[in-house]
Structure 1
Amino acid sequence: MSQYVGSPDYAHDSTARLGVLITNLGTPDAPTAGALRRYLAEFLSDPRVVETPRWLWWLVLHGIILRIRPRRAAAAYAKVWSEEGSPLLVYSRRQARALQSALDERFPGRVRVALAMRYGTPSVASALEELRQANAQRIVVLPLYPQYSATTTASTFDAVADVLKRWRWLPQLRFVTQYHDDPGYIAALAESIRAHRTQHGAADRLLFSFHGLPKRYLLQGDPYFCQCHKTARLVAEHLELSDQDWQVVFQSRFGREEWLKPYADHTLAQLPKEGITSV
């Protein structure tokens, strides 16, 4: 048996399609300790995510984290879980369907959209197989991470490459690495904020809260921190905000080392002391 996956059977006059693979981070299959344990084991075993000597991290992950964190995290997931499932997966599927519908209007029958999660299901392998079966001769990989980071965007590229290196025939591949300053993206964020302010009023301070990273990743050349700040600045300019009206914070740090600052929780505790009572 060959170690490489062959091309599907199709007629020579079959339509060659463009495949669009949109990817997101991932989610457990259920808000249970068992499902969280499987998900976190896959996620936190990625060397792109945690850059620590493997032997040491294995001991920490399997000896401490996976024994304690899944049960605590399951309770938090249960609070946001819907009848349709995980909100991240539900909304990602809606995005995929909306994109497929929009592309069908412009390019009927010529584009196939597939959704993958970097960790969990649907997997990158299953989504690429869907595109392969659809005779996708070209594939655009679009991670839903506007700001590039090795922990997210590069990890997605790793997963795609791991699958494609087992294919006998390789499609043309284009990988979208970032779109943090794309005018359409900036305008969409600004319009969302503007609509919320129209309905609920403007708060004293607008916080742009991004997921955090260890500071050492920035010092080693990861552009994520800078791209987050640029996104926030461009949106603020689009909304014609003064420098005192907004600021950037980072959330969800993990462990004891220093992460990107300012921390969201520290900022929220400090703002009332400065007279800022709504954000």
Structure 2
Amino acid sequence: MSAPSRPRVAVILFNLGGPDGPAAVRPFLENLFTDPAILRVPAFIRPWLGRLIAARRTRAASENYAILGGRSPLRELTEAQGEALAAALAPEIEARCFVAMRYWHPFAEEAARQVKAWGAEEAVLLPLYPQYSTTTTGSSLDDWRAACERVGLELPGRTLCCWHSDPAFAAATAALIREAEAAARAALPAGARLRLLFSAHGLPESIVRHGDPYQWQVERTVAAVTAALERPAGAPPLEHGICYQSRVTPQKWIGPSLEQALEAAARDGAAVLVSPIAFVSEHSETLVELDVEYRELAHKLGLPGYFRVPAQNSDPGFIAALAGLVRRVRDGQRALCSFAGARQCPKVHGDCPHARARATLETA
């Protein structure tokens, strides 16, 4: 008797994307700043204003990417995560991972065509953003739906909107922090004060006030990770805080900023260990902002030490967490689900995708 066939499962990995060479920096920025989820101005203004912002930021961005060899490493790192995830799902699931970047190649339409050519029978939409935001996961999902319509891809599937407090993700992140803490303490004098700073990408306050659940979910991530940080016997308590980086507009953004957190650490005479809590792959925000720009600021402020926790990349514990998420999504009955199944965000967050889906049904 032959074994039952396994369905072909396409796992779509959503990420930001990044320029693959110096010539791609400006068009990448234009794609970013003309996204209505990012630049929230009237539609007739957005194209020219977005291109203007991109033009003004091209030089600085090009200098940052020059530090990385002229290109972002995000595509290769995301593809490696996909290969590791497909291997972790085997042999019980015949899965193949497809990368759909939002602002540079491979775009969602490229991924949709690949999924169609492969003959996938179902799909799992897996954003590589632990915390949901309309500016990241929301934009990517809208882009994916439009791409599928253009290429004629129709698949039964399920969407994971967020996994901010997934226990396996929290445990894998905590393990990376413990290792980085040990290295930091070995480099510091005995008894030196060390502060863990969880740094997430910032967001304008206006977007949060509108109902975006991102900040709430970042706080839930930090709570889950700190709970998983079991302290060894006799170890000093690890003080921690949340801060935000990468402000790009003159609007008021959520805070405190990482600059403010470093200034506070300097006043307190504390070294810092920075954990990029909203990023799961190394890219310009970690390799340039955190490793170069903020390190220089910490040195100028006279901090006794500046250390960073690496992003997860293809860490085995992290990949195992992603595999667990894919299995739970497929075993569940919800087309749209959080890591725990049902909606997690309080009702005040009206831009939670579950709230949006319900509102759409009620007005249909």
Check if 1:206 corresponds to 2:196.
yes
Secondary structure at the counterpart of residue 28 of structure 1: coil
Structure 1 pair 169–60 and aligned structure 2 pair: CA distance change class (3 A): closer
Deviates more, 1:89-98 or 1:221-230: 89-98
User: 2:314: which partner in 1?
Assistant: none
User: 1:278: which partner in 2?
Assistant: 272
Q: What are the superposed Cα offsets for residues 91-134 of structure 1, whole Å, 9 maximum, x if unpaired?
A: 11110111122223333xx2222112111111111112111111
Check if 1:129 corresponds to 2:129.
no
User: 2:354: which partner in 1?
Assistant: none
User: Among residues 64, 68, 82, which one is paired with 1:96 in the alignment?
Assistant: 82
Secondary structure at the counterpart of residue 36 of structure 2: coil
* 1:21 Cα deviation from its structure 2 partner: 0.8
* 1:167 Cα deviation from its structure 2 partner: 4.7
Q: Distance in 2 between matches of 1:114 and 1:56?
A: 34
How big is the alpha-carbon RMSD for the aligned residues of Structure 1 and Structure 2? 2.2
Instruction: Work out whether residues 112 and 134 of structure 1, in 8 Å CA contact, stay in contact via their aligned partners in 2.
Output: no
User: Among residues 173, 177, 191, which one is paired with 2:161 in the alignment?
Assistant: 177
Q: With structure 2 as the length reference, what TM-score do the two structures score?
A: 0.67
Q: With structure 1 as the length reference, what TM-score do the two structures score?
A: 0.86
Return 5+ residue gaps in structure 1 as ranges: 1-13
User: Among residues 210, 216, 228, which one is paired with 1:220 in the alignment?
Assistant: 210
Q: What are the superposed Cα offsets for residues 176-200 of structure 1, whole Å, 9 maximum, x if unpaired?
A: 1000010111001001111222333
Q: What are the superposed Cα offsets for residues 218-249 of structure 1, whole Å, 9 maximum, x if unpaired?
A: 11110000100110111112114799700000
Check if 1:37 corresponds to 2:26.
yes
Instruction: Work out whether residues 198 and 243 of structure 2, in 8 Å CA contact, stay in contact via their aligned partners in 1.
Output: yes
User: Among residues 10, 24, 35, which one is paired with 2:15 in the alignment?
Assistant: 24
Matches within 5 A, 1:102-117: 102-107=88-93, 110-117=94-101
Instruction: Work out whether residues 22 and 113 of structure 1, in 8 Å CA contact, stay in contact via their aligned partners in 2.
Output: yes
User: 1:87: which partner in 2?
Assistant: 73
Q: Distance in 1 between matches of 2:48 and 2:204?
A: 20
Structure 1 pair 36–54 and aligned structure 2 pair: CA distance change class (3 A): same
Structure 1 pair 270–200 and aligned structure 2 pair: CA distance change class (3 A): closer
Q: Distance in 2 between matches of 1:251 and 1:125?
A: 30
User: 2:36: which partner in 1?
Assistant: 47
Q: Distance in 2 between matches of 1:235 and 1:224?
A: 16
Return 5+ residue gaps in structure 2 as ranges: 187-192, 274-364
Instruction: Work out whether residues 81 and 87 of structure 1, in 8 Å CA contact, stay in contact via their aligned partners in 2.
Output: no
Look up the equivalent residue of 1:249 and give its one-letter code. C
User: 1:74: which partner in 2?
Assistant: 62
* Aligned-residue identity in percent: 33
Q: What are the superposed Cα offsets for residues 115-155 of structure 1, whole Å, 9 maximum, x if unpaired?
A: 12111111111112111111111111101000000000111
User: 2:244: which partner in 1?
Assistant: 250
Structure 1 pair 156–277 and aligned structure 2 pair: CA distance change class (3 A): same
User: 1:10: which partner in 2?
Assistant: none
Q: Distance in 1 between matches of 2:46 and 2:119?
A: 41
